C-alpha cells in the first residue's frame, strides 16, 4: 500500500483508534513509519497498540500482531476486557520467542525461534536461529500487512550479545516492516531508567536504543495524584508532525485506551466576555483570543525577564483602539523609558506628555518619579485614596474604555497590603466596565503577606514569564477559563516595532 501525501505535504496519517491521541498527533501515526510506545508495566502499551490495529480492521486493512512475550491464549486473556476482534479475518496474531535448540548452522544448543510453544522447525529437529534475518523469514508468510505491532521489542534482545548489534538488528527489522512492506509499525518497549519526569525534564531511558531508530516516540507512565495512581501519555517526538507535547491522562474503557482531556478549557463562545487583542497574534492564541474585557488578568514574572516591551506592545494596541491607559509603573521603569517607547511606536503622538495632555494617559505614581501633571497622581499625597483617584480618572478620560496596567508591587509597598486588598476588591465589583481591561503585574517572590496568592485567586486569567538558565525567555498560560492552561511560548525580540514575537 502506497502512502500518498496529504494536502499539507506530509505523509498521510493512520488513526490510533483514540480520538484525542489523533488530535495530539495532528491526525494519527504517520503512514509507513515506525513508532515506539514505551512505558512501565501496566501503563497500557499493549492495549494502545491493539487499539491501533482494531482501528485498521474497521477500515478493512490487513493487520499483524507479533508478540515476543505472550502466547495466543495469554493475549486472548489480556484483551478479554476490551472490544477487540481477535478473530477478525484480516488480523494475524503470531508469537516469536527465543528458546534453546539446534540449528543447521550448529548442532550445539543455542537460541532459536519458537512460535506458540511449538517451535519453528525447519526439518529433522532443527529450528531457525533467533536472529534478525531469520525472524524476517518467519514473518514473510504473514505479509502483506498494512499495520504491524511488535509487542515488545524488549523480547528481541536475545538476538544480539551487545547493544550495537542489537540496535543494528532492530533497525533491520524496522526497515523490513516500513521500507520493504510499507507497513505502519508500532513497537512497544519496557521503560527502564529514572523517573519519566525527573526534575521536570522529559526523558526516555538511555538503555532504550530503539528510540534513535524510530520515526516517533510515545511515552506512558504513572504518577500519584494526592494518593491516587493515574496513568499519563505524551508525545516525545514525531518527525514532521506539529504534535501536542503536553501530558494527557489515560483511562481504560471497552474500546481500549481513552486519552483525556479532549478540551482543557471552555469554548470561547462560553466565555461570556469579549476579548481584547494584545497586538501579538500568538499571545492572543495562547490567551484564548486575548485579554478578557470587563475582567481581570495577571502577569507574573521572575524579575529577570524583559516584560516592559511585552506590556508596552499591549498598551500601544489599546491606544490604537482608542482606549486610555492607566499606569502604575514598575520601580525600575523610568518615565524616560516609557516616553522613548511611545516615540518609537506608530502612535501619532510625540510622547507621554502629549498623551497626558490629551487625557489618554494617567499615571498613579506611588514612588514620586514623574514630573508634575494633572493626570499624574501620587496616592501617598492624596487624602481621598485610590478609589477617588480612579473615579477622577474615569471622568477625565477621553478614551473609549480604560486599559489599566497596574504594578502590584509598587501599590503594595507604597500603600500597604490592607488598603490594596480593599482597592482590589472594589475594582472588579464597582469600577470596571465592559469596555475596560485590567492587567496586574508583579514578581510573586517579592510580595508579602500572601498578596501573591491573593492576586492569583482574584484573577480570571494568569500568565507567567521567566528567563531560564540558558538566557531564553518563555511565557506560559497559568490560569484561564477559555484558554488551554499550560501552553508555553518562546519570547523573541525584534529590531523593529512591535519589537517582540512569541513562538
pLDDT digits over 209-249, tens only? 788 889 999 999 998 888 888 999 999 999 989 898 889 99
Q: Is the pLDDT of residue 5 over 50?
A: no
Choose the final residue of a domain: 260, 293, 320: 260
H helix count then E strand count, the chain:
13, 27
Q: Which pLDDT score, from 0 to 100, does residue 116 have? A: 47
Q: Is the pLDDT of residue 120 over 90?
A: no
Same domain assignment for residues 364 and 415: yes
pLDDT digits over 128-155, tens only? 677 888 888 889 989 999 999 999 888 8
Which residue intervals of 105-190 are DSSP H helices?
A: 132-139, 163-175
Q: Is the pLDDT of residue 73 over 90?
A: no
Q: 333 Cβ partners below 8 Å, 6+ apart?
A: 308
Same domain assignment for residues 165 and 122: no
- Which is more confidently placed, 60 or 424? 60
Q: Which pLDDT score, from 0 to 100, does residue 366 have? A: 74
Q: Is the pLDDT of residue 167 over 70?
A: yes
Same domain assignment for residues 62 and 77: yes
Same domain assignment for residues 400 and 328: yes
As a whole number, mean pLDDT of residues 384-405 equals 91
- Which is more confidently placed, 165 or 124? 165
Same domain assignment for residues 159 and 287: no
Contact 103, 127 (CB under 8 A): yes
Q: Which pLDDT score, from 0 to 100, does residue 104 have? A: 43
For the chain, the average pLDDT equals: 84
Q: Is the pLDDT of residue 3 over 80?
A: no
Region of poorest pLDDT, from 151-160, 191-200, 256-265, 358-367: 191-200
At 501, phi and psi to the nearest 5? -145, 145
Q: Which pLDDT score, from 0 to 100, does residue 343 have? A: 80
Confidence at 267, pLDDT banded by 50, 70, 90: low
Residue 174 lies in a domain: yes
Q: Which pLDDT score, from 0 to 100, does residue 385 have? A: 79
Identity of the highest mean pLDDT range in 168-177, 178-187, 303-312, 490-499: 178-187
Residue numbers of the domain that contains 318: 268-502
Same domain assignment for residues 321 and 368: yes
Residue 389 lies in a domain: yes
Choose the final residue of a domain: 108, 139, 170: 139
Q: Which three cell numbers stand for residue 381?
A: 499625597
Region of poorest pLDDT, from 5-19, 119-133, 300-314: 119-133
Contact 160, 124 (CB under 8 A): no
As a whole number, mean pLDDT of residues 456-483 equals 91
Q: Which pLDDT score, from 0 to 100, does residue 119 have? A: 43
SS3 496: coil
Same domain assignment for residues 41 and 126: no
At 253, phi and psi to the nearest 5? -140, 180
As a whole number, mean pLDDT of residues 251-260 equals 93
Choose the final residue of a domain: 205, 229, 260: 260
Residue 319 lies in a domain: yes
Same domain assignment for residues 474 and 338: yes
Same domain assignment for residues 117 and 33: no
Same domain assignment for residues 57 and 156: yes
Q: 474 Cβ partners below 8 Å, 6+ apart?
A: 465, 466, 468, 488, 489, 490, 491
Other beta carbons within 10 angstroms of residue 155's beta carbon come to 21
Same domain assignment for residues 108 and 203: no
Residue 221 lies in a domain: yes
Residue 108 lies in a domain: yes
Q: Is the pLDDT of residue 39 over 80?
A: yes
Residue 54 lies in a domain: yes
Q: Which pLDDT score, from 0 to 100, does residue 32 have? A: 96
Neighbour-count burial for 263-298, b at 16+ CB within 10 Å, e otherwise: eebeeeeebebebbbbbbebbbebbbbbbbbbbbbb
As a whole number, mean pLDDT of residues 392-404 equals 95
Q: Which pLDDT score, from 0 to 100, does residue 256 have? A: 94
Same domain assignment for residues 251 and 327: no
Q: CA torsion sign, 349 to 354 to 360 to 365? A: positive
Q: Which three cell numbers stand for residue 496?
A: 523593529
Residue 197 lies in a domain: yes
Q: Is the pLDDT of residue 500 over 60?
A: yes
As a whole number, mean pLDDT of residues 407-422 equals 74
Total domains in the fold of the chain: 3
Residue 4 lies in a domain: no
As a whole number, mean pLDDT of residues 272-285 equals 88
Q: What is the CATH number of the domain that holds 430?
A: 3.40.50.300
Q: Which pLDDT score, from 0 to 100, does residue 412 have? A: 65
Percent of the chain with pLDDT over 70: 83
What are the CB-based long-range contacts (under 8 Å, 24+) for 470-473?
A: 473/305, 473/306
Confidence at 103, pLDDT banded by 50, 70, 90: very low
Q: Which pLDDT score, from 0 to 100, does residue 379 have? A: 77
pTM of the predicted protein model:
0.69
Q: Is the pLDDT of residue 156 over 70?
A: yes
Amino acid at each position: 500500500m502506497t502512502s500518498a501525501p496529504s494536502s499539507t505535504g506530509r505523509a498521510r496519517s493512520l488513526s490510533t483508534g483514540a480520538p484525542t491521541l489523533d488530535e495530539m498527533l495532528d491526525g494519527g501515526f504517520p503512514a509507513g513509519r515506525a513508532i515506539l510506545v514505551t512505558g512501565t508495566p501496566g501503563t497500557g502499551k499493549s492495549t494502545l497498540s491493539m487499539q491501533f490495529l482494531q482501528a485498521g480492521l474497521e477500515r478493512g486493512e490487513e493487520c499483524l500482531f507479533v508478540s515476543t512475550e505472550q502466547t495466543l491464549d495469554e493475549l486472548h486473556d489480556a484483551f478479554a476486557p476490551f472490544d477487540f476482534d481477535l478473530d477478525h479475518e484480516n488480523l494475524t496474531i503470531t508469537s516469536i520467542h527465543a528458546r534453546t535448540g539446534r540449528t543447521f548452522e550448529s548442532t550445539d544448543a543455542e537460541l532459536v525461534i519458537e512460535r506458540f510453544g511449538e517451535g519453528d522447525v525447519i526439518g529433522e529437529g532443527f529450528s531457525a536461529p533467533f536472529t534478525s534475518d531469520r525472524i524476517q523469514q518467519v514473518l514473510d508468510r504473514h505479509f502483506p500487512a498494512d499495520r504491524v505491532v511488535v509487542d515488545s521489542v524488549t523480547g528481541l534482545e536475545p538476538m544480539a550479545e551487545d547493544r550495537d548489534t542489537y540496535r543494528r538488528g532492530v533497525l533491520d527489522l524496522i526497515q523490513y516492516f516500513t521500507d520493504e512492506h510499507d507497513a505502519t509499525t508500532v513497537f512497544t518497549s519496557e521503560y527502564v531508567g529514572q523517573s519519566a519526569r525527573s526534575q521536570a525534564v522529559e526523558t526516555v531511558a538511555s538503555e532504550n536504543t530503539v528510540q534513535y531508530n524510530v520515526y516517533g516516540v510515545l511515552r506512558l507512565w504513572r504518577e500519584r495524584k494526592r494518593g491516587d495512581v493515574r496513568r499519563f501519555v505524551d508525545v516525545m517526538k514525531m518527525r514532521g508532525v506539529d504534535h501536542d507535547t503536553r501530558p494527557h491522562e489515560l483511562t481504560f474503557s471497552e474500546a481500549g485506551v481513552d486519552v483525556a482531556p479532549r478540551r482543557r478549557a471552555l469554548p470561547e463562545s462560553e466565555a461570556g466576555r469579549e476579548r481584547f487583542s494584545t497586538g501579538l497574534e500568538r499571545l492572543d492564541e495562547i490567551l484564548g483570543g486575548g485579554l478578557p474585557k470587563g475582567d481581570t488578568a495577571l502577569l507574573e514574572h521572575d524579575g529577570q525577564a524583559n516584560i516592559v516591551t511585552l506590556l508596552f506592545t499591549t498598551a500601544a494596541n489599546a491606544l490604537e483602539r482608542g482606549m486610555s491607559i492607566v499606569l502604575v509603573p514598575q520601580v525600575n521603569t523610568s518615565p524616560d523609558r516609557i516616553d522613548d517607547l511611545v516615540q518609537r511606536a506608530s502612535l501619532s503622538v510625540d510622547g507621554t506628555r502629549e498623551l497626558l495632555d490629551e487625557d489618554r494617559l494617567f499615571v498613579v505614581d506611588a514612588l514620586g518619579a514623574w514630573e508634575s501633571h494633572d493626570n499624574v497622581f501620587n496616592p501617598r499625597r492624596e487624602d481621598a485614596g485610590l478609589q477617588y483617584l480612579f473615579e477622577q480618572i474615569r471622568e477625565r478620560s477621553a478614551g473609549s474604555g480604560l486599559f489599566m496596567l497596574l504594578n502590584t508591587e509598587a501599590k503594595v509597598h507604597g500603600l500597604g497590603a490592607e488598603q490594596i486588598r480593599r482597592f482590589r476588591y472594589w475594582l472588579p465589583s464597582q469600577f470596571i466596565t465592559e469596555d475596560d481591561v485590567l492587567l496586574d503585574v508583579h514578581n510573586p517572590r517579592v510580595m508579602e503577606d500572601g498578596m501573591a496568592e491573593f492576586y492569583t485567586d482574584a484573577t480570571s486569567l494568569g500568565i507567567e514569564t521567566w528567563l531560564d538558565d540558558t538566557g531564553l525567555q518563555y511565557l506560559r498560560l497559568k490560569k484561564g477559563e477559555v484558554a488551554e492552561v499550560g501552553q508555553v511560548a518562546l519570547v523573541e525580540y525584534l529590531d523593529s516595532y512591535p519589537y517582540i514575537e512569541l513562538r
